[in-house]
Structure formats: C-alpha cells, structure tokens
Amino acid sequence: MDRRNDYGYRVPTFQSKHPNGEERTGSNYRRIPWGRRPPPPRDVAILQERANKLVKYLLVKDQTKIPIKRSDMLKDVIQEYDEYFPEIIERASYALEKMFRVNLKEIDKQSSLYILISTQESSAGILGTTKDTPKLGLLMVILSVIFMNGNKASEAVIWEVLRKLGLRPGVRHSLFGEVRKLITDEFVKQKYLEYKRVPNSRPPEYEFFWGLRSYHETSKMKVLKFACKVQKKDPKDWAAQYREAVEMEVQAAAVAVAEAEARAEARAQMGIGEEPRYSFGIFVHTAA
Amino acid sequence: ATSGVFSAVGAPSNMQGSSSGRAGVMTDVHRRFLQLLMTHGVLEEWEVRRLQNHCYKVHDCNATVDKLEDFINNINSVLESLYIEIKKGITEDDGRPIYALVNLATTSVSKMATDFAESELDLFRKALELIIDSETGFASSTNILNLVDQLKGKKMRKKEAEQVLQKFVQSKWLIEKEGEFTLHGRAILEMEQFIRETYPDTVKICNICHSLLIQGQSCETCGIRMHLPCVAKYFQSASEPRCPHCNDYWPHEIPEVFNPEKEREAGGSKSSRKSLRTRQH
C-alpha cells in the first residue's frame, strides 16, 4: 500500500453532488497531503462510485495506448480513498469485464503500469478499417520479423524490410507519419515494441524487441501464422518458432488460469459480484 | 432513471414496474457490439445493423436478432451507472442516422479524449468557436490557423496545426469540406450540452427540433434556422414552402428526406451522395 507516500491532493471546498461531470479548476482547491488526513470510513456506495468513474477514466486513457500509471489513477480519480485502491480497482476491473469484456492488466509491477486488453477474438475488419488499422498492420510486420529472427531484430534488418514496403526513415508517410518516430518512439511508449541499444556498440546500434503490450495483445502463435500466411508456408515448417509459440501458449494459458483464480478469490473477499443487484444495478447473465 | 449510486445503497435495481421495464441483461453479443462501437467512435445505422448481426452470428447464431432499439436500450440500462450511453443522432448535411457512445454528463473539450495535447485541444476549442460564430457553420482553414499564436500549451506551427486538424478529421470530431471545417455529427452528439452551456449567446438552435444547429438554412426575413433534414421533413409535402415563423416564402432548395432504401440501391457510397450546404449572403 502506498500510505507512506505523501501525495498532494486537491480537496474540494464544496461537496460535489454529481459523481461525474464536475470540472476541477485549480482556484477552488486547497492542497492537503493525503498522509495527514484520516482515511474516510468504508462506504461501499462511494467505493463503487469511484470504481465507475475509474472505468470511464481507463476507457478514455486507454485510447492513446500509453500505459496508465497507478499514480495518475490515484491523483485523478481515487483521491482520498487511496487506502481502498485495491478494492476500487478490483471493482473497476469487474465492471470492465462484465460490460466491455476488457481485462485490466498490470504489466509492470515495479512502475505500476496498467493496460486494457480485449479478451475476445478480434472482429477486426467487419466494418472496414479504423484510423489505427494501418499502424497495427505495420506493427504486425515488425513483430513477425522480430520473432522469426529469434526474438530480436537489429534496426538495420527492420529497415530492410520496411524499405521493401516503400517506407523510409525521415520521409513522412500519409498513413504513418514519420515512420522512424512511429517505431522508435510511439510504439515504444505504447509498449508495443522495445528499442534498446546494443551493449558496447560503437557507433551505437539499436535493436528491437517485443514490448510488454504485444505479449498481451497478441501471441507468438498468431504472429507465426501471420508470417506463414505471407510466405505461403505452414507454421510447422518453422520448427523452432513453432515449438516456441506452442510453449508460450501453454504458459499463457496457465498464467491466465492462475490470474482468474486469484481474481475470483479477491472478489469473493471484497463482496464484488456476489450481489450484483445491489452493487451495480445489472444482472450478470452468464451465457450458456 | 435510477442512478448507479442509488442502486448501490441497497435498493433493488430490478426495474420491473417502472416505465423502462426489465432491467438490462448483457451477454457477449452486447459486449462485442459495445467494444466495436467504441473502436469506431461513430457508426451509421446500416453499419450498426451489420455489426449487430455480426455479433449475434459470433456468439449466439440461433437467437433472433433483437430489434435494434431494444438492443441498444438494453445496453444503455447497463451502462447507466457509468453515466455513458449509446446515443442516436442524425447528420446535419443529409439526415443519416448515426450512433456513438457519449457521456451523459456534460462533456467539455478537455474531456473529449486524452489523445490530444493541451495545445491541440485548445486548437479544437478555437475551431469550435469559429464554427459556432460563423453563418454557415463552417470555419476556414486559414482563419483557424491564424489563431495558432494564441494557443495554450506548447507552441505550435501552422504546418503542425494543419496536421492536428487532420487528426481531428480522422478521429471524426471535425469534417472537412473544400478547405473548411465543421463539427462531425459525433462531436455534436457528444458536446451539444457543453456547447449550449458554454456559448449560450452565440449558439444557434433549430426552429423545428430545438436541438443545436451548426449547419442549416435560415429564413431571410425573420432569421429562424432549420436543419437541412428538418427542412426536408417539414416541407416534404408542401407545394409552396413557407417559413413556419413568419410565413414568408422559403427561399432555399428543399433537400430530400433521407431514405435508407434508396441509399442501399445507390450502393451507399459517400461519393454518390449529394450533400447540400447552404451559403448565407
């Protein structure tokens, strides 16, 4: 728990009637460090209200695909209920799953970063493309180069491939913008890729790895199948990669089961989902 | 309608007996639908129907597809506690029905999205103000870009601002026509309340539907305004169109009422549509 941290937070000088819609303008607020305030009593209604607010906050913030910091959630939404953060985030996580079939995942326990992942098989393309489709297509190409190359690829190799697609560093593309910035900066911030300097390289050389988000949003098997589709080969033709992809799937399944169990236990303890009538006003219908 | 907090303090949320009928039940069909709608931001009605059918096919192919209105009301009753809903509107230029997920509480510019930096949101705000102030509902690229020096946040060059405006077009907050910008139907759906509250003196209202008006036709005598689709409906069977307020002859071309059947026959492509834009002189 982060109780020891002294976050400055803003105390409203009036009691806000509306759970949503209030604008926080700086002039109305005093700054009181959380540490000095007594924690408010546990009130399920308010915890649920904060959780609902957190759901919207996460849905909006996730649009940028830049991982969300726990400290931002605490500052912007949770505020004086920071002591109840674990319960609030569990309630939010439950609502996200039940309403949007989206998983809230902590991808970096050290820096407390979270992302939202869709848990359903993608319906991509059913209504044509969105503005993100070209970028994600390009990403898929890069992820497959990295994987097929043994889970890392030098910048030189990546550019070789991109040049074949007509993309060049420093040249603005109508769909991707400046491609070098996209792959070394934007995709890195979004945790789709990692861009690291090759140790002891002089002049400095860089290589690409899969980012944490890529591991969660796709799988080595999916990427292998994509690469094989392009090459018109069978995934099993790439024996080493195929073995690795299968192994990752097994591991991922085991992790998913363990996580689901842990979540179910936590929720049972917190009384989340037990009485949906009284917590959310929704009946949770589990489809047969 | 029951608020999420009200339900949380132990009152039964079972809404039987109230006018809304059965409380919402959300299945994977609804969840997939909701997620995809969110991904696209805003969809036209034919796309929404296709999406609904797709979601049924994936999850529950034996079930009969719910009537769209009921399907959406169902989802909305579940989303109530989050103060968001799927809202239906019509495009101002040709009356096509559109759907988007919007905030029930007022959405200010800063809450629009966190995709945009402070200076970019301020650019949108400036464009919004020019659009609201204009006679036609359109603001020229030149006029918007001339305000670049006044923006809050990080300094932005005109070239950058042009790209930011394109970002807004791609994200369906603005529409561009011949170098001029107006609000996308999605922005109007999302921000109508905010716009009416923030610009009460300059905002224009349609005389027929009483909603926010950005583009439309106006009476040259008394100045009342009407949306193009509202004009189409109101004068549909009128032999001699007359202003509903001052009875003077209505001087503008009357557009056709949007007909989804005709659209499908014509192939539904955007380029084949005739869109009507009125210029005020």
Quick: pLDDT tens for A194-212: 999 999 988 999 999 999 8
Q: Find, among A121, A137, A244, A124, the residue nearest to A187 by Cα.
A: A137
Which of the pair, B12 or A234, is modelled with greater confidence?
A234
Q: Which residues have C-beta within 8 Å of that of residue B191, sequence separation ≥ 6? A: B107, B109, B112, B183
Residue A62: pLDDT over 70: yes
Kindly list the residues from chain A whose CB atom is less than 8 angstroms away from the CB atom of residue B58: 123
Closest chain B CA to residue A51: B82
Kindly list the residues from chain B whose CB atom is less than 8 angstroms away from the CB atom of residue A281: 2, 4, 6-8, 13, 23, 80-81
Three-state DSSP class for residue B27: coil
**Do A179 and A169 touch, CB atoms closer than 8 A?**
yes
Interface of A with B in 11-30 (CB under 8 A): 18-21, 23
The secondary element (H helix, E strand) that includes residue B145 is: helix B141-145
Closest chain B CA to residue A18: B105
Distance, in Å, from the CA atom of B4 to the CA atom of A279, rounded to the nearest integer, reads: 8
pLDDT of residue B114: 58
B71-100 confidence digits (pLDDT tens): 999 999 999 988 899 999 999 988 999 999
- Verify whether the Cβ–Cβ distance A280 to B7 is below 8 Å: yes
Please report, for residues B140, B167, B168, B170, the alpha-carbon distance to residue B176 in angstroms, rounded to integers and kept in the order given: 9, 11, 10, 10
- Verify whether the Cβ–Cβ distance B26 to A285 is below 8 Å: yes
ipTM value greater than 0.85: no
The secondary element (H helix, E strand) that includes residue B43 is: strand B42-44
Of B14, B58, B115, the CB nearest to A64: B115
The Cα angle at residue B160 between residues A65 and B101, in degrees rounded to 5: 40
- Verify whether the Cβ–Cβ distance B81 to A102 is below 8 Å: no
Q: What is the length of chain B? A: 281
First-last CA distance in chain B? 46
- Verify whether the Cβ–Cβ distance A64 to B35 is below 8 Å: no
Residue B160: pLDDT over 70: yes
Which residues face B90 on adjacent strands?
A: B97
Please report, for residues A90, A116, A152, A187, A204, the alpha-carbon distance to residue A197 in angstroms, rounded to integers and kept in the order given: 38, 28, 12, 16, 7
CB contact, 8 Å: A280 with chain B? yes
Residue B153: pLDDT over 50: yes
Distance, in Å, from the CA atom of A276 to the CA atom of A54, rounded to the nearest integer, reads: 18
pLDDT of residue B52: 94
CB contact, 8 Å: A102 with chain B? yes
- Amino acid type, B153: G
Beta strands per DSSP E along B52-198: 84-90, 97-103, 139-140, 174-177, 180-183
Which residues face A197 on adjacent strands?
A: A206
Q: Find, among A272, A281, A254, the residue nearest to A92 by Cα.
A: A272
Residue A280: pLDDT over 80: no
Residue B38: pLDDT over 50: yes
- Give which of B2, B3, B7 to mutate to test A binding, by max A Cβ within 10 Å: B7
The Cα angle at residue B59 between residues A63 and B269, in degrees rounded to 5: 60
Of B4, B28, B110, the CB nearest to A287: B28
pLDDT of residue B34: 92
Kindly list the residues from chain B whose CB atom is less than 8 angstroms away from the CB atom of residue A126: 36, 50-51, 54
pLDDT of residue B19: 40
Three-state DSSP class for residue B146: coil
Which residues face B88 on adjacent strands?
A: B99
Spatial strand order in the sheet of B84-90: B42-44, B97-103, B84-90
- Verify whether the Cβ–Cβ distance A282 to B23 is below 8 Å: yes
Of A19, A127, A280, the CB nearest to B40: A127
pLDDT of residue B112: 60
Using left for φ > 0, alpha for ψ between -120 and 50, and beta otherwise, residue A63 falls in: alpha
**What does the mean pLDDT of chain A come to?**
81
A12-46 confidence digits (pLDDT tens): 444 334 444 444 444 444 555 555 667 788 888 99
Mean predicted confidence (pLDDT) in A180-193 = 94
pTM equals 0.76
State the smallest CA–CA distance between residue A89 and chain B in angstroms: 15
Of A49, A123, A282, the CB nearest to B32: A123
- Give which of B46, B52, B78 to mutate to test A binding, by max A Cβ within 10 Å: B78
Would you tell me how many other CB atoms lie within 10 Å of the CB of residue A226?
18
Contacts 24+ apart (CB under 8 A), B216-222: B216/B92, B216/B137, B216/B278, B217/B250, B217/B252, B217/B278, B218/B278, B218/B280, B219/B243, B219/B245, B219/B246, B219/B248, B219/B250, B220/B248, B220/B251, B221/B246, B221/B248, B222/B246, B222/B248
Matching residue, tokens 């009416």:
B196
Which of the pair, A121 or B147, is modelled with greater confidence?
B147
**What does the mean pLDDT of chain B come to?**
83
Mean predicted confidence (pLDDT) in B120-147 = 94
Residue B212: pLDDT over 90: yes
Give B235's pLDDT tier (boundaries 50, 70, 90). Answer: very high
pLDDT above 90 as % of chain B = 58
Mean predicted confidence (pLDDT) in B26-38 = 90
**SS (HEC) of B68-107:** HHHHHHHHHHHHHHHCEEEEEEECCCCCCEEEEEEECCCC
Please report, for residues A91, A143, A239, B23, the alpha-carbon distance to residue A244 in angstroms, rounded to integers and kept in the order given: 36, 15, 9, 47
Give B274's pLDDT tier (boundaries 50, 70, 90). Answer: very low
- Verify whether the Cβ–Cβ distance B54 to A126 is below 8 Å: yes
- Give which of A18, A22, A126 to mutate to test B binding, by max B Cβ within 10 Å: A126
Angle, helices A85-95 vs A239-270, to 10°: value is: 120
Interface of A with B in 106-165 (CB under 8 A): 118, 120, 123, 126-127, 130-131
B40-71 confidence digits (pLDDT tens): 889 999 999 999 999 998 887 788 888 999 99
- Verify whether the Cβ–Cβ distance A285 to B27 is below 8 Å: yes
The Cα angle at residue B122 between residues B121 and B125, in degrees rounded to 5: 90
State the smallest CA–CA distance between residue B135 and chain A in angstroms: 31
**Do B257 and B230 touch, CB atoms closer than 8 A?**
no
- Verify whether the Cβ–Cβ distance A99 to B170 is below 8 Å: no
Residue B280: pLDDT over 80: no
What burial class does residue B174 get, using C-beta atoms within 10 Å of its C-beta: 0-12 exposed, 13-18 middle, 19+ buried?
buried
Distance, in Å, from the CA atom of B106 to the CA atom of B269, rounded to the nearest integer, reads: 34
CB contact, 8 Å: A45 with chain B? yes
Using left for φ > 0, alpha for ψ between -120 and 50, and beta otherwise, residue B215 falls in: beta
B138-147 confidence digits (pLDDT tens): 999 999 999 9
A·B CB contacts under 8 A: 131
**Do B209 and B123 touch, CB atoms closer than 8 A?**
no
Which of the pair, B229 or A3, is modelled with greater confidence?
B229
Which of the pair, B270 or A271, is modelled with greater confidence?
A271
Closest chain B CA to residue A92: B82
